[in-house]
Amino acid sequence: MGRVHAEAARRAGAEIVGAVGSSAARAAAAAEAVGAAQGYSDLRAMLTDAAPDVVHVCTPNAVHAAAAEAAIAAGAHVICEKPLATSAEDAARLAAAAHDGGRVATVPFVYRFHPMAREMRARVAAGEPGAVSVVHGGYLQDWLSRPEDDNWRVDSAVGGLSRAFADIGSHWCDFLEFVLGERILALSAQSATVRDRRGDLPVSTEDLVTLHLRTASGVLGTGVICQVAAGRKNRLHLEVSGTDTSLGFDQELPEQLWLGRRDGSTLLVRDPETLSPQALRYSRLPAGHAQGYQDCFDAFVADTYAAVRGEPVADGLPTFADGLRAARLTEAVLTSAAAGGQWTEVPE
């Protein structure tokens, strides 16, 4: 992820002044990987010596809170990978610190920045679905489907008490709330660990979560979050089913938006000449020239930097407040799953 962040930063006109690693050797390797001017084995030394305007936190989850807090205290703006923190309490403290310090602090919920996702949001806001009957979808990956697959995220001491939901379920819920324009009020969750051992180590975090949800206006929905679904590489998909029109977005087919109606269904393809103003802002290439994940990340970082410069940006820039929201959703999922799927309210 550090390389993705660095590429987006350079495309937005930034200079990478430093990279931090856990040792001198790792710091040098990190600096080479992201094209930084210098590597540092201590974050505070980098904050003092390089004095960055913006710090990108791309560490394992358990380090996010301390790193972001140090950067804010040093006067830097912050982009912090999600989850913002491994507890809602820590996330709330970070959101307050950014607010009180007047710092721009964002979290890369970058799927918001697909042009066709913005188009979907604009059409929902305009009432095109009619009465929304249900929302459904999920986020499926397969990178942990084999017994030998392993990663630091599996270790709850490093990745946090939730893995699949905190890692990708948070993306799906953020995307749902962003597109629908309203919050998940309550949820019922169940979780499972398909691979209870990886190598010689037991696994204490979930491989999958199933959700039932209810929004503030009473819309019901379902979601499936899974990191052991063979063949699915990164399928975030959402359908808003309405009485007049249904709209469906699939992140693995990001150039398209499915529009379903009683008298026929169509695929709307990204074309700057036909998009809404909200989507057009993020349509950077001519029709037929595919935009993808890096383009989303570039747009997110560019909007963050514009906010740092005090320039106006389009609505929808995900801030630490959104990171706190994701942490609260994660804790509600853990609470509900531990109680056998009991309906649990999500705190504001």
Contact criterion met (CB below 8 Å) for 198 and 147: yes
Q: What is the mean pLDDT of residues 253-267?
A: 97
Residues 132 and 147 grouped into a single domain: yes
Bridge partners of 345, per DSSP, are 186
pLDDT of residue 199: 81
| Residue whose token pair is 């006109």 | 13
pLDDT tens digits, 287-327: 999 999 999 999 999 999 999 999 999 999 999 999 999 99
Bridge partners of 57, per DSSP, are 80
Overall residue count recorded for the chain in this entry: 348
Q: What is the mean pLDDT of residues 195-218?
A: 94
Q: What is the mean pLDDT of residues 263-292?
A: 96
DSSP 230-269: TT-SSEEEEEEEESS-EEEEETTSTTEEEEEETTEEEEEE
pLDDT tens digits, 27-44: 999 999 999 999 999 999
Cis peptide before 115 (omega within 30 of 0): no
Residue 37: CATH number of its domain: 3.40.50.720
pLDDT for residue 201 is more than 90:
no
Could you say which of 53, 73, 106 is where a domain stops?
A: 106
Residues 81 and 167 grouped into a single domain: no
Residue 129: CATH number of its domain: 3.30.360.10
- The mean pLDDT of the chain is 97
Please state, in angstroms and rounded to a whole number, the distance separating the CA atoms of residues 86 and 59: 13
Could you say which of 49, 81, 106 is where a domain stops?
A: 106
pLDDT of residue 200: 81
Residues 60 and 98 grouped into a single domain: yes
Q: What is the mean pLDDT of residues 140-166?
A: 95
**Number of domain units in the chain:** 2
> Residue 90 belongs to what domain range?
2-106
Could you say which of 88, 106, 124 is where a domain stops?
A: 106
% of the chain residues with pLDDT over 70: 100
% of the chain residues with pLDDT over 90: 97
